Amino acid sequence: MARSSGVAYRKSVVQSSEEESGCRIVVAGGGFAGGTLALALARLAPKTCRVTLVDAAPSDAERDPDGRGLALSPAARNLLNAIGLWSRLTPDAQSMDAIEVTDSPLNAALRPHLLGFADELRDEGTKAWLVEAGALLAAIADEVKREPAIDLIAPDAVESFDCDPFSTNIRLAGGRTLRASLLVAADGKKSRLRERAGIKCIGWSYAQTGIVATVAHERPHNGRAVQHFLPAGPFAILPLKGNRSSIVWTEEAETAKRLIDDDPQVFVDELSRRFGHRLGTITLEDPPRAFPLSFQMARRFVGDRLALVGDAAHVVHPLAGQGLNIGLRDVAALVETVTDSVRLGLDIGSPTALARYERWRRFDSAFSAVAMDGMNRLFSNDSAPLRTIRDLGMALVDRAPGLKRFLVREAAGATGDVPRLLKGEAL
């Protein structure tokens, strides 16, 4: 890999007259959504599409050993398999073989089992898998560097862009200019590209903080995940490979700050109160991390020759672990939209092509985000009457096999207008 002015790249991205006959897609952001999108376009879209990935992180940067557990739906797994990533993740992936849901005050002597899923998860079409965030991001970065059909420019960022009738002219912070048929914003929830396009967001901040940590425990989890609804917010235990679990802990913001800043043993003691004793003594594998929680939905998912994917388009509450899966649905839908447009001889950055992508993704994303926001508001309180009503509701669902199967299929990404890649079908 050569270097020029501190920017790593594999081959020149200066277009020749021959390249003008095709179409270039520039993806801004090499994280989960952006990196996966670049790989999917490079490996699955028609070869006349050329892909440039502009990433702020240096291509040879040392990767954060992030042990957070990410729940991958069967649909997301199908996408990763189609682009050659799943085989790299399989050895260290943990299947989610059962889910237990409970709802009680923090100091309750008993945590009654209200809703559970086990038989519904035995089919490969409904089984979710847990992978570590650092492992997934490292696999994406390695495959991007190895893929000859991706022009990687890193470290750099899109500084500005403007459109003419046939393309978008992109200026990078490092001084280079690119010309593309389509620019994709995969640059996170504070997306500069979304702001430059004048796309506003609907959103709010929660009076909650998310705490994530990886713990080791004495006894095996047997693939069982636990979602414990507490007055301050949901507390999830997600099984990882071995006697390890990932914790996703929603807490009141002030309490979370105190716990993070306090003595580590105090944190472990408070964690143990919520974790319970089923798996024996727990120990922290890495320092806990905290991040503010918010809801955010872009009013539009597209602009002039611009498409938003991942957190640039939507940010959801983490209680159901669906943020990554929703972003990967964006990826699958955009790849299919681009592929179908190219095969029909259409302009991939035209309003018609982008309108299809927006219709496909905006309602589904908004529905998922609102559903998770509603669940958080319903369960994150200490109201005894509300607890009685919601616990009765969960108990009724637990006794309705048909409804449970539907809920599992919904979480698996198998309902609605599903992109072909998510169904395991070829484009």
Q: Give the three-state DSSP class for 416.
A: coil
Q: Is the pLDDT of residue 11 over 50?
A: no
Q: Is the pLDDT of residue 9 over 60?
A: no
Give residue 4's pLDDT band: very low, low, confident or very high (50, 70, 90): very low
Give residue 59's pLDDT band: very low, low, confident or very high (50, 70, 90): confident
Decide if 205 contacts 292 (C-beta within 8 A): yes
Residue-wise pLDDT tens digits, 343-381? 999 999 999 999 999 999 999 999 999 999 999 999 998
Per-residue tokens: 58: 């240096």
State how far the Cα of 300 lies from the Cα of 186, in Å rounded to an integer: 14
Query: Considering the chain, what percentage of its residues have pLDDT values greater than 70?
Result: 95
State how far the Cα of 137 lies from the Cα of 122, in Å rounded to an integer: 27
Spatial CA neighbour of 8 closest among 153, 119, 114: 153
**Taking each helix axis from N to C terminus, what angle separates 351-379 and 384-398, rounded to the nearest 10 degrees?**
120
State how far the Cα of 427 lies from the Cα of 405, in Å rounded to an integer: 28
Q: Is the pLDDT of residue 22 over 60?
A: no
**Taking each helix axis from N to C terminus, what angle separates 32-44 and 74-82, rounded to the nearest 10 degrees?**
50
Give residue 126's pLDDT band: very low, low, confident or very high (50, 70, 90): confident
Give residue 113's pLDDT band: very low, low, confident or very high (50, 70, 90): confident
**Which of the two residues, 321 and 181, has the higher pLDDT score?**
181
Mean pLDDT value across residues 207-220: 96
Spatial CA neighbour of 229 closest among 114, 396, 398, 325: 114
Cα 293 versus chain centre, distance: 15
Report the residue count for the chain: 427
Q: What is the pTM of this model?
A: 0.93
Give residue 400's pLDDT band: very low, low, confident or very high (50, 70, 90): very high
Q: Is the pLDDT of residue 237 over 80?
A: yes
Give residue 414's pLDDT band: very low, low, confident or very high (50, 70, 90): confident
- 97 Cβ neighbours under 8 A, 6+ residues apart: 118, 121, 122, 127, 222, 223, 224
Long-range pairs of 159-166 with CB within 8 A, sequence gap ≥ 24: 160/196, 161/193, 161/196, 161/306, 163/304, 163/305, 166/347
Give the pLDDT score at 18.
Answer: 34
Mean pLDDT value across residues 61-80: 88
State how far the Cα of 186 lies from the Cα of 28, in Å rounded to an integer: 6
State how far the Cα of 54 lies from the Cα of 52, in Å rounded to an integer: 6
State how far the Cα of 94 lies from the Cα of 128, in Å rounded to an integer: 9
The H-or-E segment that residue 151 falls in is: strand 150-153
- What is the DSSP annotation of 110-123? -----EEESGGG-S
Q: Is the pLDDT of residue 159 over 60?
A: yes
Give the pLDDT score at 149.
Answer: 96
State how far the Cα of 297 lies from the Cα of 320, in Å rounded to an integer: 17
Decide if 28 contacts 43 (C-beta within 8 A): no
Give the pLDDT score at 196.
Answer: 97
Q: Is the pLDDT of residue 20 over 80?
A: no
Q: Is the pLDDT of residue 326 over 60?
A: yes
Give residue 6's pLDDT band: very low, low, confident or very high (50, 70, 90): very low
The H-or-E segment that residue 394 falls in is: helix 384-398
**Least confident interval from 15-24, 30-39, 331-340:** 15-24
Q: Which structural domains are found in the chain, ordered by start?
A: 2-63+135-200+299-379 (3.50.50.60), 69-132+203-293 (3.30.9.10)
Q: Is the pLDDT of residue 15 over 50?
A: no
Sheet holding 128-132, edge to edge: 69-72, 128-132, 94-96
Give residue 3's pLDDT band: very low, low, confident or very high (50, 70, 90): very low
| Residue 13 CB coordination number (10 Å) | 21
State how far the Cα of 54 lies from the Cα of 160, in Å rounded to an integer: 13
Decide if 198 contacts 303 (C-beta within 8 A): yes
Where do the DSSP E strands lie in 288-417?
A: 289-298, 302-303, 306-308, 314-315
Give the pLDDT score at 415.
Answer: 83
Spatial CA neighbour of 28 closest among 119, 159, 168, 174: 159
DSSP at 73: P
